[in-house]
């Protein structure tokens, strides 16, 4: 029988075969249509949409999150997925102020800004970690119509300006996080230099020296001298070392980078990288420098000591071939006699200042700061405590306790103990 007759016979005499062929053809048509729609949708997205990815490692990432947290509070822009960011400040008196900020969490968010609709997708990859700090890798992807791509530049500029406004007139404290610097807590109100009472001439000498250094970069370069300056503040606890550095940063409109050499996992390479990549206009602060190496160098049993920084690694980071230029570094210690001479030689430490127990000048000045015009009581108070070797921190605590009663401050002066 010819093939045409066979096929004709199958179609005419076998309705199941006919139905099967019809379903097969319909399915093939649907598959082709679906593939066409997918391909058309992909081409449409490529032609009509544009995206911008901001990785968590980029500086603008935190700026954008803060900016977006302000946008979603707008009545027109709402989200149902939040993440919390907690910041706290420990004040000089020991109290702590805590603030909680709600920022858009992982997921997709839609909002309108300057008449343009934006999709923001925040993604977090728990399996992919940032090797510098161990935190999950995150990205934020912004998507809008191609014709509106100009909005990205305007948005990033506004988020930067908003972040800088929060720092205006304030001091930002940075701490190391892995191999990078991150802001610690909220920016702090700049501390006035005259709020810190040091013995006569100390503030003025250091301030003048720092300003001369900042304004004479060309002089250093012309003479081939490394453009770095190091300061050591030493003296008993509570003498105002850290407070003065904070006030100095405020006076210079600088920020502060605090580095703990005993930090767990800190290595020579990381130390060198951190010192070489500090934020601009920042004072580098190494507190209690004696504690970092007296323990390590005197102990033969290293068990329990977390830092892997070596003494030679610190010296190389301070003034080795790879050390950074244009740097102001302050070190503090309660026990200057424990420091190795190699650490505090000129070129690493250029200025050394003793911040000792309160002098008669400091005692009287602080008394009058709390009790203005009480000159006679100030003299009585000085006579009572001048031989007690008290710290400025102790005096401040005493005056705060008797803040409204200068007579009681004098009467109970003997209660101040070292």
Residue 218 confidence (pLDDT) above 60: yes
DSSP summary character for residue 287: -
Identify which of 183, 181, 161, 163 has the alpha carbon closest to the alpha carbon of residue 172: 183
> Is there a contact between 130 and 124 (Cβ–Cβ < 8 Å)?
no
C-alpha–C-alpha distance, residues 213 and 194, integer Å: 21
pLDDT at residue 299 is higher than 60? no
Q: Is the pTM of this model over 0.85?
A: no
What is the bridge-based pairing of β-strands 107-113 and 170-171? unpaired
Taking residues 265-288, report their average pLDDT.
88
In sequence order, the β-bridge partners of residue 176 are 181
pLDDT score of 159 more than 50: yes
CA distance 43 to 45: 5
Q: Does one domain contain both 220 and 343? A: yes
Confirm if 67 and 158 have CB atoms less than 8 A apart: yes
- How does pLDDT run across 30-65, given as a tens digit for each residue? 666 666 566 655 555 556 788 888 888 787 888 888
Would residue 5 count as lying in a domain?
A: no
User: Does position 94 have pLDDT exceeding 50, yes or no?
Assistant: no
Examine residue 10 and state whether it is found in any structural domain, yes or no: no
pLDDT grade for 92, boundaries at 50, 70 and 90: very low
Higher-confidence position of 356 and 20: 356
Provide the domain count of the chain. Answer: 3
In a domain, 308, yes or no: yes
Token output for 157? 């500029």
Assess if residue 294 is contained within a domain: yes
Of 91, 362, 358, 356, which Cα lies nearest the Cα of 233?
Answer: 356
| Mean pLDDT along residues 358-387 | 94
One domain for residues 54 and 121: yes
Give the range with max mean pLDDT: 110-119, 260-269, 372-381: 372-381
- Domain extent for 116: 50-168
Q: Taking 70 as the threshold, does the pLDDT of residue 29 lie above it? A: no
């Amino acid at each position: 029988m010819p093939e045409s007759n066979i096929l004709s016979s199958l179609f005419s005499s076998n309705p199941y075969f006919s139905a099967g062929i019809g379903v097969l053809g319909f399915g093939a048509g649907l598959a082709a249509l679906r593939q066409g729609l997918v391909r058309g949708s992909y081409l449409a997205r490529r032609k009509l949409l544009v995206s911008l990815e901001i990785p968590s490692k980029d500086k603008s990432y935190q700026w954008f999150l803060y900016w977006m947290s302000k946008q979603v509070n707008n009545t027109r822009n709402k989200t149902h997925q939040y993440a919390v960011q907690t910041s706290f400040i420990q004040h000089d008196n020991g109290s702590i102020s805590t603030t909680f900020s709600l920022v858009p969490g992982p997921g997709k968010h839609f909002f309108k800004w300057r008449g343009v609709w934006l999709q923001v997708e925040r993604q977090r990859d728990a399996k992919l970690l940032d090797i510098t700090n161990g935190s999950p890798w995150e990205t934020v992807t912004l998507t809008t119509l191609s014709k509106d791509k100009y909005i990205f530049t305007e948005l990033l500029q506004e988020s930067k300006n908003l972040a800088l406004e929060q720092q205006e007139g304030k001091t930002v404290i940075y701490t190391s996080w892995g191999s990078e610097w991150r802001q610690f807590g909220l920016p702090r109100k700049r501390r006035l230099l005259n709020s810190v009472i040091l013995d006569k001439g100390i503030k003025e000498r250091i301030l003048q020296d720092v300003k001369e250094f900042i304004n004479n970069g060309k002089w250093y370069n012309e003479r081939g001298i490394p453009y770095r300056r190091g300061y050591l503040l030493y003296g008993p606890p509570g003498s105002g070392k850290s407070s003065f550095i904070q006030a100095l940063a405020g006076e210079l409109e600088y920020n502060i980078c605090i580095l703990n050499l005993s930090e767990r996992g800190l290595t020579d390479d990381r130390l060198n990288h951190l010192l070489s990549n500090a934020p601009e206009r920042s004072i580098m602060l190494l507190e209690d420098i004696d504690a970092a190496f007296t323990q390590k160098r005197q102990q033969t049993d290293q068990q329990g000591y977390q830092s892997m920084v070596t003494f030679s690694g610190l010296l190389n980071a301070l003034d080795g071939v790879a050390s950074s230029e244009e740097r102001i570094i302050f070190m503090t210690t309660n026990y200057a006699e424990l420091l190795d001479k190699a650490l505090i030689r000129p070129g690493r430490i250029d200025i050394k200042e003793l911040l000792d127990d309160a002098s008669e000048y400091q005692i009287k000045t602080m008394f009058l700061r709390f009790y203005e015009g009480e000159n006679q009581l100030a003299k009585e108070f000085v006579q009572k405590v001048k031989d007690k070797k008290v710290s400025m921190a102790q005096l401040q605590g005493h005056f705060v306790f008797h803040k409204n009663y200068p007579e009681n401050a004098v009467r109970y002066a003997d209660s101040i103990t070292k």
